[in-house]
Chains A and B, each alone.
Chain A
Amino acid sequence: MAERLLEVDNLQVSFATEDGVVRAVDGVSFTLDRGEVLAIVGESGSGKSVTSMTLMGLTRGVNSRFGGSAKLKGKELLSASEEDLQKIRGAEIAMIFQDPISSLSPVHRIGDQIVEQIRAHDKKISKAAAFDRAVELMERVGIPHARGRARAYPHEFSGGMRQRAMIAMALSLSPSVLIADEPTTALDVTIQAQILDEVKDLKEHSDSGIIFVTHDLGVVADIADRVIVMYAGRVVEKGTLDEIFYDPQHPYTWGLLGSVTRMDRDPPKRLPSIPGLPPSLINAPAGCHFRPRCPHEFDRCREVPPLEARVSEAPDHLDRCWLSVEDKRSRREVEGRIGLVKDTVPA
């Protein structure tokens, strides 16, 4: 069995704001093994980015409160000292961010930014050796003329090349855990595909565990082994890629799947969407967080459904919905495919 890298148990993250306490992450649990790609899926504000940033201690602050536990190879991250976290960041857990335009320092050369990370962890390596290593990394992620390009500034790179540079930087110390926080969202579709190929290549040729944070289920289908669906700070469904795509149990997952446009079907008259907006996390609705937007809502939804296995043949497929499995399987069929509701608005 592959080595267990991450063990997150009942993680809670809340922020005190002027309007009240925001419970951004509420009882999230998952594990990550070597060589595995775990996708965390959800809308903006579902807590997926906060979850991943908390692993690196990037959400720490005077107004933040944490609960539960998050362990890297058995070492607790939530209570780790800032010095210990500095050693982990970039070296053990590295992160690729959403927007490569704003995520690179505008005033430093690309190569120097990679060198900076290498030298932050390897104090003995010379500048020249670190620079050579940076060039090697840039070549590895497909940046042409890497030696010359390493001396360029971020504004002289295209969006896709910048994201490749970010990936090169994240890989510079061969981290055990790589967190990709919506790495393709800010890019063109063609560039998205190239970056996804890079990530897939990584999955095959390195033994890192990858956490892929996204709202795009199309991307998830492409690379993930296991999927966590988050809604309003909670995990609403968790399972293997096949379980989530072919036997989704939570209405929110149906909604997400129903919103994916598919090339292999006739285009819908209207792009389906999930009605309503995610709730404020300051005054989250009692019971199931998805209740106000859910067309299948009933009395029991006023109680918070536990995250548990409900499909008898899949003990690791968990979800948070009170409906019976039979009910779910019949209700999720909308016009011959999985969806939340039939689109009632005439085209």
Chain B
Amino acid sequence: MARFAVRRFMSMLALLFATSVVVFGIFEIIPSYNPARAIAGRNANKTTVQEVSRKFGFDKPFYAQYANTMKLIFTGQIVDYQDQLNVVDQFKQKFPATLSLVIPAGIIWLIAAIVLGSVGALKAGKFADRALMVMAIVGVSIPVFLLAAVLLYLLAYKTSVFPNTGYVSLTSSPAQWAYHLILPWFSIALLSIGFYSRVLRGNILDMINQDFVRTARAKGLSQRDVFSRHVLRNSLMPIITLFGLDFATLLGGATLVTETVFNIPGIGQYEAAAIGNLDVPPILVGAMFTAFFVVIFGAFCDLFYALLDPRIRLSG
């Protein structure tokens, strides 16, 4: 267990290093990129820009700039170039909105995928299964920005069943919070519901013909117990791996499109603005944030996996 934790920690450090070098390096080779000019402002003259460049260390070699930036990030003093705001503070401030978006969406898609995947498998080949198949393909094929826009147009603009974008924090009004987030939740969840339910359906159909399922039936268990305790339990494994990684990337700001369309002030929206401004510090911190979650959730998944399947031993 300690070995597992240490190894995961090492791989996290390696991943953070690699991610940060790549992201930092990309901006080094963008031709028109000049952070000093962005900081100095539109009307600054050449000497001002040079001064800013010296002050922020942009004239130093790549590795020195990188080391300096990393130091600022890990001491929590990194500021963005655009508004000189502390990036870590910004992340802290915007993370609750992203959590509000991602956690319920994850729960929705997991439950819906398990239910629909089970129905698809139990009714394999019948009408319900075929209908779900079509819906899954539609769900997987529609891009999030289109789905979000269509949902907003039909349910917020045309009929005003739901509010037209915006965000209310959970602490100020739980009801309004949920009411404002229902459409974003479903926009995020739909793609995964389609994909996960088809994967689960396939797993269940493989599992149902296993010898131990026949044993379970031969023991005299009810069909429900055979399904839930033996078939489903064994079919969920691959879904959990998928879920861990998808969930981690969403937490790290992959909700960019959804947050932008629905005007939710989370990490995704913040990142979208930073990318538009070629503002390196938020982009860099965002990428490292995602890498961090991917490793953490990967480890969680493996722990959960080992809990579900005793044949799996934790290793690095």
A residues in contact (CB < 8 Å) with B: 56, 58, 82, 86-91, 94-95, 97, 99, 102-108, 116-117, 120-121, 153, 155, 166, 169
Contact = CB atoms under 8 A, between A and B. Distances in A.
B218 A56 contact: yes
A97 B210 CA distance: 12
Nearest to B217: A58
A84 to B, nearest CB: 11
A88 B219 CA distance: 9
B62 to A, nearest CB: 51
Q: How many B residues touch the partner, as a band?
A: 20 to 34
B215 A121 contact: no
A116 B229 CA distance: 10
A155 B311 contact: yes
Given A99-B211, A155-B310, A155-B311, A105 B234 contact: yes
7 contacts: A86-B222, A88-B220, A107-B233, A107-B310, A107-B311, A116-B219, A120-B219
A95 B310 CA distance: 26
Interface in B207-242: 210-212, 214-223, 225, 229-230, 233-234
Contacts of A106: 212, 234, 309-311
Given A89-B219, A116-B219, A116-B221, A58 B214 contact: yes
B220 A102 contact: no
B136 to A, nearest CB: 24
Contact of A97 (B215, B221, B225, B309): B215
Given A95-B215, A155-B310, 5 more contacts: A87-B220, A90-B219, A97-B211, A107-B233, A117-B219
Q: What 3 pairs across the A-B complex have the smallest Cβ distances?
A: A90-B220, A89-B220, A102-B211
Contacts of A103: 211-212, 214-215
B308 interface: yes
B236 to A, nearest CB: 10
A183 B41 CA distance: 82
Given A105-B234, A116-B229, A94 B311 contact: no
Contacts, number: 73
Contacts of B220: 86-91, 117, 120-121
Nearest to B310: A153
A147 B230 CA distance: 24
A86 B221 contact: yes
A110 to B, nearest CB: 11
Interface string B285-315: 0000000000000000000000011110000
B311 A153 contact: yes
Contacts of B212: 102-106
Contacts of B211: 97, 99, 102-103
A193 B311 CA distance: 29
A105 B214 CA distance: 10
Nearest to B221: A120
Contacts of A104: 212, 215
B113 to A, nearest CB: 20
Contacts of B230: 105
A69 to B, nearest CB: 21
Contacts of A105: 212, 215-216, 230, 234
Contact of B210 (A94, A102, A155): A102
Contacts of A89: 217-220
Nearest to A173: B220
Contacts of B215: 95, 97, 103-105, 166
Contacts of B309: 106-107
Contacts of A87: 220
Nearest to A56: B218
Contacts of A155: 310-311
A216 to B, nearest CB: 20
Contacts of B310: 106-107, 153, 155
A48 B212 CA distance: 20
Contacts of B219: 89-90, 116-117, 120, 169
B308 A107 contact: yes
Contacts of B223: 82
A341 B217 CA distance: 43
A116 B212 CA distance: 13
A56 B230 CA distance: 19
